[in-house]
Amino acid sequence: MDPYRVIVGKRDLRTYTDQAIPTGALFRILDAARRSGSSRNRQPWEFIVVTDREQRARLARCGRFTAHLATAPSVVVILIESPRDQFDAGRCAQTLMLAAWSQGIASCPATIHYDARAREVLGVGEGPVIATAVALGYPHPRGRGRIEGAALAILAGRGRKPLEALVHWDRYGNRRAPAASA
């Protein structure tokens, strides 16, 4: 498949089949995350791969929109060194999720709102910061069904803003593209 189409077609999906992710595929996904770019090549990340069913159920109680962590066969928690590494965490998570997507594996990151509880569950002491928990699984044929709450369902259906509302040229507020790029 065309790499551009894979990258642009990635959607965050929250419903998965029960099928486990083969260890080989999981390692390829983690290896892609590991090789992601970061500021000054600091690679400020570590990963906790959660496949144990009870651990996933506990993680699913660590945020407001985290129910899908219980039903995903694997979850990758991304830890960073400092809150200032959130931009690099986003790059890493996206690389991880696109590598998964290129192998037919869907994903959705979950914000961990209840940080103290998640630290307890995962055994993370002082030091590392929990950036996100990425659910991974094969997409369920029934699609995006199990979205928690009406609010999220509306948001998920909202689509994307049009490009012309987002793009400025050379200076903020200049909406006209230059005739030719020099």
Cβ 95 to a second copy shortest distance, Å: 6
Cβ 82 to a second copy shortest distance, Å: 12
Question: Which CB atom, from 17 or from 94, has the smaller least distance to a second copy?
Answer: 94
Cβ 7 to a second copy shortest distance, Å: 5
List, in order, residues 6 or more apart from 107 with CB less than 8 Å away.
Answer: 12, 13, 96, 97, 100, 101, 134, 135, 136, 137
8 A C-beta contact, residue 29 and residue 96 = yes
Question: Which CB atom, from 83 or from 141, has the smaller least distance to a second copy?
Answer: 83
Q: Report the C-alpha gap between 95 and 123 in whole angstroms.
A: 26
Question: Which CB atom, from 38 or from 140, has the smaller least distance to a second copy?
Answer: 38
